[in-house]
Structures are given as C-alpha cells and as structure tokens.
Amino acid sequence: MSTIFGVNCLRSGRSLQGTLRTKLRTACSQSTTVAALLEPSTRSTRCISSISNTSNSHGNNSNGSYSPRERGTILQRKRHSPLHCTEQQRRTFFGSRGPVVDYVDLPPNYQDEEGLPFRKDGDVDLATTAVIFQGFADMTPWRANKLLKILHGRRVAGTLEDPELQENTASFSRREIERALEYLRKTTPVDEITNAGLRAEDELRALEAQTSEEIEAQEAQKEKEGGGRKAGSWLYKDGGVQDVYGESQNWGGLATYQPGGARPLEVMSAKELEYRAAATSGLEAPPDIPTWRLLLPSTLFVAALVPLLWWAAEHWYAPASEETRLMPWASKENATIYGLLLLNLAVFVAWKRMPFWKFMNKWFVMDMAMPRAVQTVTAVFSHQTPTHLAENMFFLWLLGGLLQGEVSRAEYLAIFLSCGAAGFLASLYRCVLRGHLTYGLGASSATFGVICAYFWLYRFDGFKILGLPPDPYNGVQGLGVIGLIVGLNLIPAFRHLPGQKDWVSHLAGIATGIGFAELIERRRKEKEGEGNKLLVEGKQGN
C-alpha cells in the first residue's frame, strides 16, 4: 500500500480493502469525487465545465447547470467509457495538439516505460538538453527525452509517486529526475494533484468491482509469474498481448540499441550505477569561474602546440625503415590513415567499458564548464555513438588520405592534431562567451582540416567525381569543393536544427588546414628557388 497526496491506494495487499470501500461509499454519499475532496483546482473546474457544455447531448438541464451529484456522475461516466471517448473528438486534421495534461485525456495505449510527449515542438535536441541538464556531462538527448516523457506521463496518469513504477527510471539519478521535473513544471503545467486523485478514484472503483476470490486468483497468478503489477499496465488490468505477432514473436530479452548515447536500454545494475556515480560530477551547477580563467589555459596550450608540432615534424621526424613498420602490407600513406582509424575505434570501445567511464569523462571530452587544455587534443579521438564514428571515419578514409602524398607522415599528423585542437578551442570560446556550457567531442574539425588543406593546394585544378563531368570538361575546382564544405557547415548557423553540428569548430579546423596549406606552398617555393639557384650556379661553374 502507498499513499498518494493523502489518498490511500491498495497496491499488493487486501488488509485495507474494507477501509477503502468505506471511503468510496462515503465519498459517493456526499455526492462528490475524490478529486473534489482533495482541492478543486482550475483544471478540474475546466474539465467539469467542458462536460457541462454538452448538457443537451446528455439530456440534462437546458441551462447547462448540474448539482454536485450530477457532475460527479457525468465525470465518472465520461472517464469510464472505453478509455476516454473524448480523445477521438479532439483530434484535428490540420495542426497538432499540444501535450496531454488531463487525466481524462490519457491515451488508452499509455505505457509508463514509453511515457507521453511533453511539448508540441517534439523532442529536445542537444542544445536544449545541455541547457536543461547543465552540469550533467553524460546526459544525452536520447536519455533526456526518455526521462522527460516518462515523468510527464506519470504527472498526467497520477503515478508520479508510485513506487512500483520506479524501475523504469532507475538508471537516472535523483538530481536528474529533480531537474527534469523542474523543467516540466515550468514549461508544461499539469494539475498533478487532481490527476492523482482521479486515478486513485479509478483504482478504488476497480477494487470495489472485484470479489475477494478474483483478487486472490490475480495475486496468485502474479506471484506465480514472478512479479507484481506490470510497470506499464493500466490500473490493475493486464494490458494483453501488445505485439501484433503474439508473445512467441516478442523478443523482449534482446538488448536494444540506444540511439542517443552509449548507455544500454535495460536498467543498470548496481555495479553500473557505482561506475556511473564515480564518473559523474557531484556539482549541482557549473562553478563560478571567471571567463579568462576558462579560456586562457587552453588558448596558451593550443598557441604553443600548433607551431611546436609543425617544427618537430620538419626537424625531428625520421621515416621508419621497412623492417620496423607496423603495417608492412599497407602503403605508408594508407598506414597512417589506418592507424588513425584504429585509434578512434579503440577510444570508441573504451567508452563502452564501464571501468573506463571516469577516465574517459575526465580526459576524452571537451568540457566547456571545466575545461582542461589537453582535452583540445584528446577529444579529437572520442566518439560516443556509432553513427558519429562512422561518419567521421568514412570521410577521413575517403578524402583525408589525399594530403598524405604531399607531406610526410609526421607533418600530416601535425596538421590533423592542430586542426582538431584549433576547432575545439574555437568551440570553447563560443560556448563560454555565450554561457552555453556543454561538452564536445569528435574528429570532424581535424578531418575537415586535412581535406581542405589538400584542396587548397590544388584550388585551381579540376576534380572529377566518378568520371564526371566527361571530357573535355575539367570538373570542379578545388576552391569549389572547399566552398561546398564551408557552405554545408554554415547551414546550422542560420537554421536551428535539432542535434546540429558544431559548425564553429568545423570552420576553425578548415581555416587551420588552409593555413598549413599556405606553409606547404611557401616551403615548396623556397625549395624550388634553392634548386633553381643551384642549377644556375652549376651552369655558371661549367
């Protein structure tokens, strides 16, 4: 038994069944509902008044007024018609309804683990998730939408405090749930007290309709099946076979991929919760740190790293001999790309291992709230979703290796790391100055940097795609390819798309890559000048 807003509701035992029936009869004799006993609110008044407006259809007084007994009877009839017949009457062909907020409008197929839509504009994106759950580094849009939908559904269904439904939110911390409820109560007002009272009344009525023998048979059957009431069921009734193919085709034991993050769909075990607690910061909000202290360390680090990498690549690098190569079966150009692919894959696998969560959250994510300078480099190799990893690695394999034929392996890696570090530094500036303290990861800026560096070296040459355009046309110039890449990355700057890319980081990586291309061109001209000078001196000597 549990208590919801002062109304006792039977959950598993029968010891208080008589008391509950007595309360129900008392409420009916007083010609009111449990919701009215609690405290009439504006939402319950609106619900009753909407019923009063249909007085002609119910054959009541022409003036649309009712006695308290009549209102309670009509409300009961309206709620107990095959679950809420008014749901179909409110559907529209043009435009979309707002989120469901009244208990009487609860859909008949509502399940707690699925929840209800909580806003008219659809799910929240990455930017909105970061604002709502500021300070929660591991809160992905998928997890955020799952939690918000479940909690909004419970607010409407009146089961917010139901202990038997908490298993569906067991993978979320108490602070995450409180933050989600704070957001929902601010953006989607719901009369939670009235909804809880109406649900309690329905549960009491369901108990009243059952005989003692039926209750004993149901409890025995549930104990035999190994569990109490289903977490997603409606009242105490079995939801029936939900799958169109029947239970034999319902592969409930198979794990399902979680689209928005690296967490499994099933409820976390105690060990998983322990690892997650260790990897999550205990801060309620980002610390109050001056802006210059957030930006200066990373700025100095990147400003020193970029020229140092280029200088070291020119003066300290010595090509490996054939005997010491790790991939002798691959060309030197492909070996570098394969090495980067394997490194990114290894980091991706590390994100999936629970013991590494604390280390990965600390060093392999660009944390805009508490940045570490080295994160501008390590976050380049970090991807948390398969689609993000596949997208970046595909373009790195397809076009990123073109620059390998123009520079040495060390110079290529210097350009790759410098573009990634510069991209995250630009993203840090944007987020800190705008107060949008989120996190970033991925090799996009580094990949775009090495691709655009190559096309800048051959910016006036024509490039054909799959042999098109045919001869005698030259194809798209390198400048055209760079312009296309820049244009695609500028789209999110003018359109606020869900889950948009970090376009500032991408543009900074592109600019850094073009800067390195200019250095390569200057070095070529210097070598050509020295070669011409030696050639002239040789001719003069002869």
> How far apart (Å, rounded) are the C-alpha atoms in residues 104 and 75?
9
pTM over 0.85: no
Tokens at 27, concatenated: 């409420």
Tell me if 170 is assigned to some domain: no
Tell me if 98 is assigned to some domain: no
Residues with Cβ within 8 Å of residue 297, at least 6 apart in sequence: 371, 372, 373
> How far apart (Å, rounded) are the C-alpha atoms in residues 309 and 415?
8
Q: What pLDDT is stored for residue 325 in this prediction?
A: 75
Q: What pLDDT is stored for residue 513 in this prediction?
A: 96
Same domain, 197 and 344: no
Sign of CA dihedral 383, 388, 393, 395: negative
Domain of residue 336, CATH code: 1.20.1540.10
Q: Which residues does the chain have with pLDDT short of 50? A: 1-17, 20, 24, 27-96, 227-266, 498
Tell me if 169 is assigned to some domain: no
Same domain, 341 and 212: no
Same domain, 373 and 503: yes
Same domain, 305 and 427: yes
Same domain, 204 and 352: no
Tokens at 363, concatenated: 């060093």
Same domain, 520 and 401: yes
Tell me if 341 is assigned to some domain: yes
Same domain, 202 and 301: no
> How far apart (Å, rounded) are the C-alpha atoms in residues 196 and 4?
7
Tens digit of pLDDT for each residue in 202-222? Answer: 888 877 776 666 667 777 776
Place of tokens 């790790």: 326
Tell me if 215 is assigned to some domain: yes
Same domain, 387 and 506: yes
Q: What pLDDT is stored for residue 337 in this prediction?
A: 92
Tell me if 520 is assigned to some domain: yes
Q: What are phi and psi of 4, to 5 degrees?
A: -120, 110
> How far apart (Å, rounded) are the C-alpha atoms in residues 49 and 104?
13
Tell me if 138 is assigned to some domain: no
The torsion angle over the Cα atoms of residues 34, 174, 126 and 396, rounded to 10 degrees, is -140
DSSP code string of 101-126: -SGGG--TT--TTT-----TT-S--H
> How far apart (Å, rounded) are the C-alpha atoms in residues 394 and 423?
19
Q: What pLDDT is stored for residue 79 in this prediction?
A: 37
Residues in a beta bridge with 440: 366
Same domain, 344 and 419: yes
- Domain tally, the chain: 2
Same domain, 204 and 331: no
Domain holding 371, by residue range, is 291-534
Tell me if 258 is assigned to some domain: no
Which of 175, 205, 228 terminates a domain? The answer is 228
Tens digit of pLDDT for each residue in 121-148? Answer: 888 888 888 889 887 877 888 889 999 9
> How far apart (Å, rounded) are the C-alpha atoms in residues 442 and 389?
8
* Helices within 114-191 (DSSP H only): 126-132, 141-157, 174-187
Same domain, 374 and 479: yes
Same domain, 205 and 318: no
Coil vs helix vs strand at 231: coil
Q: What pLDDT is stored for residue 442 in this prediction?
A: 92
